[in-house]
Amino acid sequence: MLGRPLLRTSYEADMALFPSVTQRVVFALFLLFLVAIPFFAPGTIGESGSLPGPTFLGTSDWLRLLVTLGIYAIGALGLNILTGLAGQVSLGHAFFMAVGAYTAAVFGSPQGPLWGLGLPIWIWLPMAGIVPAILGTLIAPAAVRVRGLYLAVVTLGLVFIGEYLWRNLDFITGGSQSGRTFPALEFRFWQEEEAVLSMTEPATWFGVLNMSPTAKTYLFVLVLTAVMALVAKNLQRTRTGRAFMAIRDRDVAAEVMGVDEFRTKTLAFAISSFYAGIAGALLATFIGRTIPEQWNLNMSVEFIAIILIGGIGTVTGTLLGSAFVIILPRLVADLTQLGERLVREGGTWATILDPLVSTGSGDWGLVNTSAGVAPGLSVDQLNLVIYGVLIIGFLIFEPLGLYGIWLRIRNYWKGWPFTY
């Protein structure tokens, strides 16, 4: 109603994804901004034109970062369904991502020294989600018999089992030393040589828009991420989503109310594994070549950090956490390099930053840009420390993470100038 945006007069209005006009407009503008990012770079429109906006976002370097962000967001949405909605702690997300990646390799890569069927993307990408989902369904009966810390240990074992399997199934994974290549993002009807649409080749659309391979990949991942996020958001509003949350809040009470605990937990594992498999296939395809050791415990911890920092149990928080965790290492690296340059140049900033930045083998500092040469933490090690500190801080002071901070800010301005 006019002047009363929070008034709901029907159940349908109360459950709407974007109940107010303001939310719909803001979301549409934000979506247009995301679509326009590749066209901020010079030369993307005509010979030298571009859309007005932050030019650096349209560069290949940042587009690759944003593609990685979208892929991690898909994987984190799956973990959020399992852990945030169903309340099942899992440290085995990297295992299901690896299953999805190698499923894509078997179905999509051409036949050669390693297994490959050379099938098109409309087969190997869905199979990259279906096979992990089936495997998750088979593993779930053993996992759902335990809870809490014991469940975390069970799923942690999957990562170690996976590391052993990926190293020894060299006819699929390529082995520890060389790894294997993965199918390219190319759309074909079947196995014809000429692709209908290739993400690996530059193209000109409508005779005006110049698209680089990275830009096309970004738009494809953006669409896929939006679809997966929409499905995850709608899942929360269904009977299945409410069953997940009932199990999470009090499983005994949920069973008394008629919720099948075994079936619900198994379904949560299957859906989460499907998301993880899709994310793993996209990540491996985007990187191009991976080794088995990439799918390790650190990757699982990254996804735990995403949902805890962003806001567990919420789709918006998962997306915020993905952006934070993926972009943070880039910002830390850039700031470290800037600090090193300022220290070398001398002056006031050198005095302030010298205890923090190591510039050589004889200069001690908290962080360095030459891992293994200068003392101090590398950028990757510093990122892990930051993740740990943030997880502890958010769990203690703001369990809803970045989404909880956003709610506080939004509610403050809604109530201003009143404090209640």
Regarding whether 342 and 261 lie in a shared domain, the answer is no
Regarding whether 67 and 112 lie in a shared domain, the answer is yes
* pLDDT band at 334; cut points 50, 70, 90: confident
Regarding whether 233 and 97 lie in a shared domain, the answer is yes
CA quadruple 35, 271, 94, 103: dihedral sign? negative
Reading the block at residue 176, the tokens are 């520890």
Residue 382 CA: distances (Å) to CA of 176, 388, 399: 27, 10, 23
- From CA 159, how far away is CA 91, in angstroms rounded? 8
- Phi, psi (rounded to 5 degrees) for 5: -65, -20
* Per-residue confidence (pLDDT) for residue 420, from 0 to 100: 61
Characterise 178 by phi-psi region: left (phi > 0), alpha (psi -120 to 50), beta (else).
alpha
What is the three-state SS of 235-269? HHCCHHHHHHHHHHHCHHHHHHCCCCHHHHHHHHH
pLDDT at 370 over 80: no
* pLDDT band at 374; cut points 50, 70, 90: low
For 159, what's the count of Cα atoms within 13 Å in the CB-facing half-sphere?
Answer: 19
For residue 209, the surrounding DSSP H or E stretch is: strand 209-211
Higher pLDDT, 4 or 300: 300
- In a domain, residue 10? The reply is no
SS3 of the chain: helix, strand, coil, percent, to 5: 65, 5, 30
pLDDT at 5 over 70: no
Regarding whether 323 and 290 lie in a shared domain, the answer is no
pTM: 0.93
- For the ranges 76-90, 131-145, 356-370, the maximum mean pLDDT occurs at 76-90
- Among the candidates 295, 329, 364, a domain finishes at 295
DSSP H helices, 288-368, are: 297-310, 315-345, 348-353
Can you tell me the mean pLDDT for 378-383? 82
pLDDT mean across residues, the chain: 89
- From CA 317, how far away is CA 404, in angstroms rounded? 8
Regarding whether 254 and 383 lie in a shared domain, the answer is no
pLDDT at 182 over 90: yes
Higher pLDDT, 168 or 207: 168
Can you tell me the mean pLDDT for 217-237? 95
* pLDDT band at 8; cut points 50, 70, 90: confident
Q: Read off the pLDDT of residues 302-316 as tens digits, 9 standing for 90 and up.
A: 999 999 999 999 999
- Among the candidates 295, 330, 362, a domain finishes at 295
Can you tell me the mean pLDDT for 289-300? 91
Regarding whether 281 and 188 lie in a shared domain, the answer is yes
Residue 139 CA: distances (Å) to CA of 95, 173, 200, 214, 324: 12, 22, 36, 37, 31
- In a domain, residue 395? The reply is yes
**Type of residue found at 247:** I
Regarding whether 237 and 104 lie in a shared domain, the answer is yes
* Count: domains in the chain: 2
Domain that holds residue 57: 53-295
When mean pLDDT is compared across 44-53, 54-63, 250-259, the lowest value belongs to 44-53
- Among the candidates 252, 270, 295, a domain finishes at 295
- In a domain, residue 85? The reply is yes
pLDDT at 163 over 80: yes
- For the ranges 44-48, 172-176, 215-219, 391-395, the maximum mean pLDDT occurs at 215-219
pLDDT at 20 over 50: yes
Neighbours of 410 (CB within 10 A): 10
The fraction of the chain above a pLDDT of 70, given in percent, is 96
- In a domain, residue 46? The reply is no
- In a domain, residue 44? The reply is no
- From CA 42, how far away is CA 99, in angstroms rounded? 39
pLDDT at 10 over 80: no
Higher pLDDT, 415 or 331: 331
Can you tell me the mean pLDDT for 122-142? 94
- In a domain, residue 26? The reply is no
For residue 35, the surrounding DSSP H or E stretch is: helix 21-36
Rg for the chain, CA atoms, rounded: 23
Regarding whether 208 and 349 lie in a shared domain, the answer is no
Regarding whether 144 and 211 lie in a shared domain, the answer is yes
Regarding whether 206 and 83 lie in a shared domain, the answer is yes
pLDDT at 183 over 70: yes
- In a domain, residue 18? The reply is no
Regarding whether 276 and 191 lie in a shared domain, the answer is yes
Reading the block at residue 174, the tokens are 């390529």
- Phi, psi (rounded to 5 degrees) for 367: -135, 150
- In a domain, residue 40? The reply is no
Higher pLDDT, 48 or 131: 131
Higher pLDDT, 124 or 7: 124
* Per-residue confidence (pLDDT) for residue 1, from 0 to 100: 45
Report which of 143, 93, 88 is spatially closest to residue 303, judged by C-alpha positions: 93
Report which of 324, 317, 271, 310 is spatially closest to residue 90, judged by C-alpha positions: 271
pLDDT at 18 over 90: no
* Per-residue confidence (pLDDT) for residue 126, from 0 to 100: 97
Regarding whether 318 and 400 lie in a shared domain, the answer is yes
